[in-house]
Amino acid sequence: MKIDENWLKLKSPDFSAYDGMDPEKKLMLVGADPFFPDRCIPEHIIEATKKALDEGKTHYALDNSYAVPELKRVLVKKLKEFNGLDVDPENELIVVPSSAFGLFVGIRVCIRPHHGDEVLNIDPGFAENFNDVYQMGAISVSVPTYMEDGFQLRIEELEKRVTPHTRCLVLTHPNNPTTTVYKREVLERLADFLKKHDLMVVVDQSFERNIYEGNEYITFAALPGMRERTISVFGTSKDLGLTGFRVAYMVAPKPVIDILKVATFNYVGPTNTFAQYGVAAAYTDPSYVDEWMTIFAERRRFGYEQLNAIPGVEVLLPEGGFFFWVNVSRLGTSVGIRDYLAKDANVGVSPGTWFGENGEGFLRIMYGTMRDTGKYKEAILRIKDSLSKLPVKA
């Protein structure tokens, strides 16, 4: 069979480890899907989507920038007020069906396949970014970050790895899985680095609204001189919880958007039409996210205390997102501990190795799932009981 089997070399999440879990007792802290599997979307969003259906908004959304006019208007306002970006919606904006697609196509535009082009990827990081680079015929260069720095970027680690073949950097901000909200001085030094080497940057802002007190969130494209070299990818799945809507958008300089329009037309076409009206309603009144953040903040504090109380386990207080990046390297391997927790605690967590070569020895534990905080706490306590039984390596 004449097929490209290279794909099968990609690291993809293996969910079969969860298959043997007791269906009655199991609690899953895996997917980045707010309150999954419970109902959570506020009525004004549901109603706006239903209204669009009733009004016959079921045709292709083929307007310039692939946005329905209502969403276009709302996004311009949101980008200005929330992100500090003045955006020309006809030339600097495009709506796409997911941030996964936005990241793929954003990286794709920066590289020329099979020219030996290199992409700097922060590791631990979002696995699809490593895969995307590899599978489009470029080289993903892992840039390590360290727990002792709170996983902030060390510019010298970038300097060590930049070559004449380097085309761009991918920045997930806040980082998934480390939760890091990058500090202003770090981002300013990153900006200098990008200018010095004339690089593009693809910034994934999926969790931009999930920022905890004491952390300042900076939209990278809003830094002086960065607009012209930044491809910003904004999702609606994580921070707005609209995972099933499949609506994301990108902001970039006009020459990039000109290409993104062609690429998106060929690769996937427009985005769901009526879902865009739901997203417009969410941005018009996103106050429910503040309520969600209050819930998340309590769960964050609880998990942080309980997990750090386990002998041999270390976790930093999350800065963004709704998950923990937990160092369990003194107890075992990522996959080993994941498998153990599935069996012993009936709790599903993600092995750190899903997030790059530097993820070994870590777990990602999602605290944004399920409606019932009591159940979440039970899951954390079960993890605590199970891990406390394990011997601690020196």
Contact call for residue 290 and a copy of itself (CB under 8 A):
no
Respond yes or no on whether the N-terminal peptide bond of residue 177 is cis (omega within 30° of 0).
yes
Say whether 170 sits in a helix, a strand or coil.
strand
Of 179, 243, 350, 358, the residue at the interface with a copy of itself (CB under 8 A) is: 243
Site residues (CB under 8 A) for a copy of itself, limited to 22-41: 31, 33, 36-41
Dist. CA 384–CA 276, nearest whole Å? 42
Of 84, 116, 255, 311, the residue at the interface with a copy of itself (CB under 8 A) is: 255
- What number of other Cβ atoms are within 10 A of residue 305's Cβ? 12
Of 5, 19, 148, 213, the residue at the interface with a copy of itself (CB under 8 A) is: 5
Which residues contact residue 329 at a Cβ distance below 8 angstroms, ignoring those fewer than 6 apart? 360, 361, 362, 393
Q: Residue 116 or 336: which CB sits closer to a copy of itself?
A: 116
Judging by beta carbons within 10 Å of its beta carbon (0-12, 13-18, 19+), is residue 83 exposed, middle or buried? buried
Shortest distance, CB of residue 105 to a copy of itself, whole angstroms?
A: 9
Token pair listed for 35: 């309150």
What residue ranges in 173-318 does DSSP mark as E strands?
Answer: 200-204, 230-234, 248-251, 314-315
Contact call for residue 54 and a copy of itself (CB under 8 A):
yes
Site residues (CB under 8 A) for a copy of itself, limited to 62-121: 62, 97-98, 100-101, 104, 108-114
Contact call for residue 203 and a copy of itself (CB under 8 A):
no
115-128 burial by CB neighbour count: b if 16+ within 10 A, else e?
eebbbbbbbbbbbb
Shortest distance, CB of residue 137 to a copy of itself, whole angstroms?
A: 5
Dist. CA 334–CA 318, nearest whole Å? 19
Of 91, 137, 302, 330, the residue at the interface with a copy of itself (CB under 8 A) is: 137
Answer whether 69's CB lies under 8 Å from 52's CB.
no
Contact call for residue 375 and a copy of itself (CB under 8 A):
no
Q: Residue 167 or 181: which CB sits closer to a copy of itself?
A: 167
Contact call for residue 200 and a copy of itself (CB under 8 A):
yes
Contact call for residue 172 and a copy of itself (CB under 8 A):
no
| Choices 127-135, 154-162, 204-212, 375-383; region in contact with a copy of itself by CB under 8 A | 127-135
Of 23, 56, 374, 391, the residue at the interface with a copy of itself (CB under 8 A) is: 56
Contact call for residue 196 and a copy of itself (CB under 8 A):
no
Contact call for residue 57 and a copy of itself (CB under 8 A):
yes
Shortest distance, CB of residue 106 to a copy of itself, whole angstroms?
A: 10
DSSP annotation of 316 reads P
Contact call for residue 372 and a copy of itself (CB under 8 A):
no
Contact call for residue 269 and a copy of itself (CB under 8 A):
yes
Site residues (CB under 8 A) for a copy of itself, limited to 218-237: 228-229, 237
Dist. CA 55–CA 50, nearest whole Å? 9
Q: Residue 275 or 331: which CB sits closer to a copy of itself?
A: 275
Contact call for residue 136 and a copy of itself (CB under 8 A):
yes
Q: Residue 266 or 294: which CB sits closer to a copy of itself?
A: 266
Token pair listed for 15: 């969910």
Token pair listed for 288: 């429910």
Dist. CA 61–CA 233, nearest whole Å? 19
Contact call for residue 204 and a copy of itself (CB under 8 A):
no
Dist. CA 263–CA 261, nearest whole Å? 6
For the chain, the first-to-last Cα distance in angstroms comes to: 51
Shortest distance, CB of residue 9 to a copy of itself, whole angstroms?
A: 10
Of 79, 153, 168, 226, the residue at the interface with a copy of itself (CB under 8 A) is: 168
Dist. CA 130–CA 11, nearest whole Å? 9
Shortest distance, CB of residue 394 to a copy of itself, whole angstroms?
A: 39
Dist. CA 63–CA 85, nearest whole Å? 22
Answer whether 352's CB lies under 8 Å from 361's CB.
yes
- What number of other Cβ atoms are within 10 A of residue 276's Cβ? 30
Give the total residue count for the chain. 394
| Choices 85-93, 214-222, 261-269, 319-327; region in contact with a copy of itself by CB under 8 A | 261-269
Site residues (CB under 8 A) for a copy of itself, limited to 312-341: none
Answer whether 179's CB lies under 8 Å from 206's CB.
no
Contact call for residue 167 and a copy of itself (CB under 8 A):
yes
Site residues (CB under 8 A) for a copy of itself, limited to 270-289: 270-275
